Chain A
Amino acid sequence: MRLIKLTFMAIAIVGLTSLVSYSNTGTSKAAMMEQRTNSDWKGTESFSLTSAGPNVARCGAFPENIELTFSGSGIDTEGGLFNVNASACTNTTTNEIFDLKATDTYLQSGDQVFIEADSFVQVINPANCVATNSHAVMGRVAGGTGGHAGATGHARFHFANNLTPCNGQNAPAHVWFEGVAMLP
């Protein structure tokens, strides 16, 4: 009698396990709905300075403030490989970076995402010529094109770049981030 009860219990457990497994795979519709939100958005990119000069209307008085433009490439979990074009203003007295905007263009789809970052002050370590943010910098997704039109989201960014005047070395700046990207 005990053996029969045990057998029934084992069969019931196997049945329940199968049911749970089936239910999990059966919720593909719900999973698809959630695919519009990438809560594991992360990526890394590198870029080089392409120009620096006055833009009083955008950045303020020159020469205290200058506009910088960058281009580079990277990869993220939202669209894969991308090229990036970015520009920012910087206060050469305080080392504040402000009005930083970037456009990432995915190589595979041609879609773009527009990024805007909070202002931050770079901390310079003269011992190793690295300029970096002391705290994570908040950035927002401000729309895009193609499959990323109307995209929103936010992320925390880190920057690290070599100061050429400090050591005479040219090297790309690196940026990496983690956050959430959402499609409408």
Chain B
Amino acid sequence: MRITKLTLALLTLAGLVFVASYFGGQSSKAATLPDDRVNAHWKGASMLTPTSAGPNPARCGSFPENIEVTFSGSGIDTGGGIFNSAASTCTNTTTGRIFDLKATDTYQSGDSIFIETDPFTPVLNPATCVSTNSQAVSFRVAGGTGAYAGATGQGRFHLASNDPACNGLAAPGRVSFEGVLQLAQ
């Protein structure tokens, strides 16, 4: 009798685990998006390659101390999946400061989000030729298009790029980020 009870208990337990597992698997969207319009676990990564560099005094300040650099690349995030990215920024060639960095990430759906970041000064390690931010850099979502029109949000990102002048190697810069994405109501 005891063995029967134990068997039944185990079967019940196994059934409960299965049910929990089933619902756990199906409710992944709910788990990550308690409110469909707020993604509190927004994260992703991308690769960017410089496409042009030149003067833009109106935006960046006097040339040649300040230049405008544009980038293109691709990545993936939990907000909209894989995306293409187009970015531009100003940089002070004397101090290395990067400022007015703006990016547009365009998802497979055709919808875009607009990103604006705080200024920061990457630090170059001459031993590894890696240039990176010493502290996480804050950014904001400044709207978008399609489903992301009026989107807001913020996060922190990290950037690491190889300095080709240091080792002669060309490679895309890489960005990773985490934050919160909120769609307009």
Contacts and interface: CB of A to CB of B under 8 A. Distances in A.
Given A74-B174, A77-B128, A130-B81, A125 B32 contact: yes
Contact of B81 (A75, A76, A80, A167): A167
Given A134-B31, A169-B108, A174 B128 contact: no
A147 B67 CA distance: 38
A44 B176 contact: yes
Contacts of B162: 75, 80-81
Contacts of B160: 42-44, 75-77
Contacts of B82: 129, 162, 169, 171
B43 A160 contact: yes
B29 A126 contact: yes
Contacts of A176: 45, 158, 174, 176
B158 A42 contact: yes
Interface string A159-184: 01110000101010111101000000
B81 A128 contact: yes
Nearest to A75: B160
Contacts of B31: 123, 134
A167 B80 CA distance: 12
17 contacts: A40-B134, A42-B158, A42-B160, A44-B158, A75-B171, A77-B128, A77-B160, A80-B167, A94-B21, A107-B169, A123-B28, A125-B32, A128-B81, A129-B82, A158-B43, A162-B81, A175-B45
Given A158-B45, A161-B76, 13 more contacts: A42-B158, A46-B47, A81-B162, A125-B32, A128-B78, A128-B80, A128-B81, A158-B43, A158-B178, A160-B43, A160-B44, A171-B76, A178-B158
